[in-house]
Amino acid sequence: METVVSGIRPTGNLHLGNYFGAVKSFLKMQYEYNCFFFIADWHSLTTHPHPDNIRKSVKTILAEYLACGLDPEKTTIYIQSDVREVPELYLYLNMNAYLGELERVTSFKDKVRTQPNNVNAGLLTYPSLMAADIIIHKAVKVPVGKDQEQNMEMARKFARRFNQIYGVEYFPEPASFHLSEKAVKVPGLDGSGKMGKSEGNAIYLIDDEKTIKKKVMKAVTDSGPTEPNSEKPEAVANLFAMMEIVSEPSTYEYFNEKYNTCEIRYGDMKKQLAVDINAFCAPIREKILDIMANDAYLEKVAAQGAEKASVSAAKTLREVREIIGFRP
Ligand code: ADP
Ligand code: TRP
pLDDT in tens, 27-66: 999 999 999 999 999 999 998 877 678 889 999 999 999 9
Whether residue 257 has pLDDT greater than 80: yes
Q: What is the pLDDT of residues 211-221, one digit of tens each?
A: 999 999 999 99
Please tell me the residue having the least CA distance from ligand 1 atom 2: 196
Check residue 35 and give its pLDDT: 98
SS3 track for 40-96: CHHHHCCCCCCCCCHHHHHHHHHHHHHHHCCCCCCCEEEEHHHCCHHHHHHHHHHHC
Please tell me if the CB atom of residue 212 comes closer than 6 angstroms to any atom of ligand 1: no
| Residue positions annotated with a catalytic role | 111, 194, 197
Q: What is the pLDDT of residues 112-164, one digit of tens each?
A: 999 999 999 999 999 999 999 999 999 999 999 878 999 999 999 999 999 99
Please tell me the residue having the least CA distance from ligand 2 atom 3: 8
Ligand 2 nearest-atom number relative to CA 5: 14
Query: Best mutation site among 29, 147, 148 for ligand 1, i.e. most ligand atoms within 8 A of its Cβ?
Result: 147
Please tell me if the CB atom of residue 21 comes closer than 6 angstroms to any atom of ligand 2: no
Ligand 1 nearest-atom number relative to CA 145: 16
Distance from the alpha carbon of residue 42 to the mean position of ligand 2, in angstroms: 11
Pick from 149, 151, 148, 119: which is nearest to 47 by CA? 119
In single-letter form, the type of residue at position 63 comes to A
Distance from the alpha carbon of residue 248 to the mean position of ligand 2, in angstroms: 31
Please tell me if the CB atom of residue 5 comes closer than 6 angstroms to any atom of ligand 2: yes
Please tell me the residue having the least CA distance from ligand 2 atom 8: 7
Pick from 159, 111, 136: which is nearest to 38 by CA? 136
| Cα 181 to Cα 248: distance, rounded to the nearest angstrom | 21
Contacts (Cβ under 8 Å, ≥6 apart) of 72: 66, 301, 304, 305
Ligand 2 nearest-atom number relative to CA 9: 5
Distance from the alpha carbon of residue 203 to the mean position of ligand 1, in angstroms: 12
Residue 50 CA to its chain's centroid (Å): 22
Please tell me if the CB atom of residue 151 comes closer than 6 angstroms to any atom of ligand 2: yes
User: What does the chain come to in residues?
Assistant: 328
Check residue 3 and give its pLDDT: 98
Contacts (Cβ under 8 Å, ≥6 apart) of 112: 119
Q: Judge if pTM exceeds 0.85.
A: yes
| Cα 220 to Cα 36: distance, rounded to the nearest angstrom | 39
| Cα 23 to Cα 88: distance, rounded to the nearest angstrom | 28
Tell me what the mean pLDDT of segment 242-270 comes to: 97
Check residue 191 and give its pLDDT: 87
| Cα 108 to Cα 326: distance, rounded to the nearest angstrom | 33
Please tell me if the CB atom of residue 111 comes closer than 6 angstroms to any atom of ligand 2: no
Ligand 1 nearest-atom number relative to CA 196: 3
Going by pLDDT thresholds of 50, 70 and 90, the confidence category of residue 182 is confident
Using DSSP's 3-state secondary structure scheme, residue 15 falls into strand
Ligand 2 nearest-atom number relative to CA 129: 9
Please tell me if the CB atom of residue 7 comes closer than 6 angstroms to any atom of ligand 2: yes
Pick from 50, 62, 64: which is nearest to 14 by CA? 64
| Cα 328 to Cα 280: distance, rounded to the nearest angstrom | 51
Q: Name the DSSP class of 176.
A: E
| Cα 246 to Cα 275: distance, rounded to the nearest angstrom | 10
Pick from 162, 179, 153: which is nearest to 29 by CA? 179
Check residue 49 and give its pLDDT: 78
Distance from the alpha carbon of residue 88 to the mean position of ligand 1, in angstroms: 28
Using DSSP's 3-state secondary structure scheme, residue 183 falls into coil
Query: What whole-number percentage of the chain has pLDDT above 90?
Result: 90
Distance from the alpha carbon of residue 71 to the mean position of ligand 2, in angstroms: 20
Please tell me the residue having the least CA distance from ligand 2 atom 15: 8
For residue 211, the surrounding DSSP H or E stretch is helix 209-217
Distance from the alpha carbon of residue 196 to the mean position of ligand 1, in angstroms: 6
Whether residue 245 has pLDDT greater than 90: yes
Check residue 146 and give its pLDDT: 78
Whether residue 6 has pLDDT greater than 90: yes
* Average pLDDT of the chain to the nearest whole number: 95
264 neighbors 224 (Cβ within 8 angstroms): yes
Ligand 1 nearest-atom number relative to CA 188: 23
| Cα 221 to Cα 218: distance, rounded to the nearest angstrom | 9
| Cα 130 to Cα 7: distance, rounded to the nearest angstrom | 9
Please tell me the residue having the least CA distance from ligand 1 atom 22: 17
Going by pLDDT thresholds of 50, 70 and 90, the confidence category of residue 263 is very high
